[in-house]
């Protein structure tokens, strides 16, 4: 085993441990702010695994898109709905999570045995001279994947408009807006919509 292979193996093991512990922390920790930061750790270690797999462009875009955009967006959402609430207990909570864990372990066993037992048709990596993956991906994007590439940009535009429309507050004009203006306190000229609660409807009717 030469030096490069040893470095690869050691970094693979370190990244694996990092990724699994951070992912378990995302799912199991009580405080959701810690989960959001651990999600960033998961993304960074997955980007390291991409580097081990000779995918520099995807590793860079993983850092840019996931750590830079998605994780920050999740943190913003956590800050916007920041309400420490104790969720009301449901019945048979332990049974539910136990059954889910059992199903997940079974799925992992199934996928693991499938991955090991299938004879994958490996390409021989010996004589292959690979040009940079950035050049290769660029050629793919502008030749045989041109239509999905353009559609992706249209989809991002639609997503932006849709997210703004969904997250916008409904403007409800206040009747007492005139006398509010005379006080010193600044208030938004809008308020959230009246709460809809299912349980109260039946008592009103």
Residue ranges in 37-96 that form contacts with other proteins under rule CB under 8 A? 39, 42-43, 46, 49-50, 52-55, 57-58, 61-62, 65-66, 69-70, 73-74, 76-78, 80-81, 83, 85, 87-88, 90, 96
Q: Of the candidates 66, 84, 83, which has an alpha carbon nearest to the alpha carbon of residue 22?
A: 66
Examine residue 142 and tell whether it contacts other proteins (CB under 8 A): no
Please select the residue that binds other proteins; options are 95, 171, 193, 202, rule is CB under 8 A.
193
Contact 77, 85 (CB under 8 A): no
Which residues have C-beta within 8 Å of that of residue 55, sequence separation ≥ 6? 133
Contacts with other proteins by CB under 8 A: the residue count is 89
* 143-182 binders of other proteins (CB under 8 A): 145, 148, 152, 155-156, 159-160, 162-164, 166-167, 169
Q: How far is the CB of 173 from other proteins (least distance, A)?
A: 17
Determine the Cα–Cα distance for residues 121 and 130; give it in Å rounded to an integer.
19
- Of the two residues 142 and 181, which places its CB atom closer to other proteins in the complex? 142
Q: Which is nearer to other proteins, 108 or 181 (CB)?
A: 108
Burial class (CB in 10 A: 0-12, 13-18, 19+), 123: exposed
How many angstroms separate the CA atoms of 125 and 53, rounded?
12
Q: Are 46 and 19 in contact (CB under 8 A)?
A: yes
The smaller minimum CB distance to other proteins, of residues 98 and 181, is found at 98
Residue whose CB is less far from other proteins, 136 or 181: 136
> For 89, how many CA atoms within 13 A lie in the half-sphere containing its CB?
4
Q: What residues numbered 101-130 form the site for other proteins, per CB under 8 A?
A: 101, 103-105, 107-108, 111-112, 115-116, 120-123, 125, 128, 130
Q: Select 160 or 180, whichever has its Cβ closest to other proteins.
A: 160
- Check residue 34 for interaction with other proteins (CB under 8 A): no
Whether the CA torsion 124, 125, 131, 133 is positive or negative: it is: positive
């Amino acid at each position: 085993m030469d030096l490069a292979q040893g470095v690869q193996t050691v970094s693979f093991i370190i990244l694996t441990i990092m990724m699994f512990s951070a992912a378990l922390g995302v799912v199991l920790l009580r405080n959701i702010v810690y989960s959001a930061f651990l999600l960033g750790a998961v993304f960074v270690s997955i980007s390291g695994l991409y580097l081990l797999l000779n995918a520099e462009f995807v590793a860079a875009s993983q850092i840019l898109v996931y750590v830079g955009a998605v994780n920050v967006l999740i943190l913003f959402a956590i800050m916007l709905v920041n309400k420490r609430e104790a969720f009301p207990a449901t019945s048979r909570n332990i049974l539910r999570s136990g059954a889910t864990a059992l199903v997940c372990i079974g799925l992992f066993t199934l996928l693991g045995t499938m991955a090991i037992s299938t004879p994958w048709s490996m390409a021989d990596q010996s004589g292959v001279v690979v040009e940079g993956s950035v050049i290769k991906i660029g050629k793919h994007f502008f030749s045989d994947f041109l239509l999905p590439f353009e559609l992706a940009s249209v989809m991002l535009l639609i997503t932006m408009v849709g997210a703004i429309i969904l997250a916008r507050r409904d403007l409800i004009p206040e009747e007492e807006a005139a006398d509010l203006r005379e006080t010193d306190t600044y208030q938004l000229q809008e308020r959230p919509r009246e709460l809809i609660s299912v349980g109260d409807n039946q008592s009103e009717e």
